[in-house]
Amino acid sequence: MSDEARPGQAESDQAESGRPEPGEAAGGLAEDYLKAGFGGRIGIGRRPALIVVDLVRAYLDPDSPLYAAAEHVVPRVAELARDARRLGHPVVFTYVSYAPGGADGGWFYRKVPALRSFDAGSPWAAPPPELVPLPGDLTITKQYPSAFSGTALAATLTSLGVDSAVITGVSTSGCVRATAVDALSQGLRPIVVRDAVADRDPRPHEAALFDLGAKYADLHDTAEIAELWKAPA
């Protein structure tokens, strides 16, 4: 018999040793991560901004190839936007747009052919009536998952004195996650509103929320946000 490991040998050896797989400790995955030192809280600062990531028709219309069954988050995001404006917090809407043929979309455009839905002039790129930006709101046009990648968002938020990013929109495992990770990397406190984000399937949605909460962002519900940004840390 060769000294090389047989397929499945490592798994078999681990099972025979009685050692648990990561996440199998008593209490399950969440407790395992907490014991390992993940999942700290970073709170919200004194100058938060609401970021609405790509919440447009492409993710709301069942006829769209990008449909994410996100209709239920629209009224929640609209409510957060109203509260943010009333409290004087910046509201930022991000949109995706490509030159015809995706020349400015790089490998992302080729990796996800459905992004053709965002070629300039596409009706899928329009927001629902409840989320049309109002005077004073900010808009960012992007070509990549993160709202910070290749855009002026970081500089704009810095100039406004923003210290926290309250993130909503779609998709949880894609552009929401990328935006939250980059917000942290830009020195902001990311807060993902877990009942105001959506994905095309609950499995990547839940996995992304778990990972974000463990490593990159605080997670809160819409009702909690309304109270949090009145009483910052």
Q: What's the alpha-carbon Rg for the chain, to the nearest Å?
A: 20
Q: What backbone phi and psi angles, to 5 degrees, belong to 7?
A: -55, 130
Report how far residue 214's alpha carbon sits from residue 145's, in angstroms, rounded to the nearest whole number.
20
Tokens of 90: 């910046």
**Tally of CB atoms within 10 A around 173:** 22
Exposed e or buried b for every residue in 181-198, given b needs 16+ CB within 10 A? bbbbebebbbbbbbbbbb
Contact partners, residue 213, CB within 8 Å, separation at least 6: 39, 192, 219
Of 157, 175, 178, 212, which is the active-site residue? 175
Tokens of 97: 């747009």
Q: Among this protein's residues, is 175 annotated catalytic?
A: yes
Catalytic machinery residues: 175
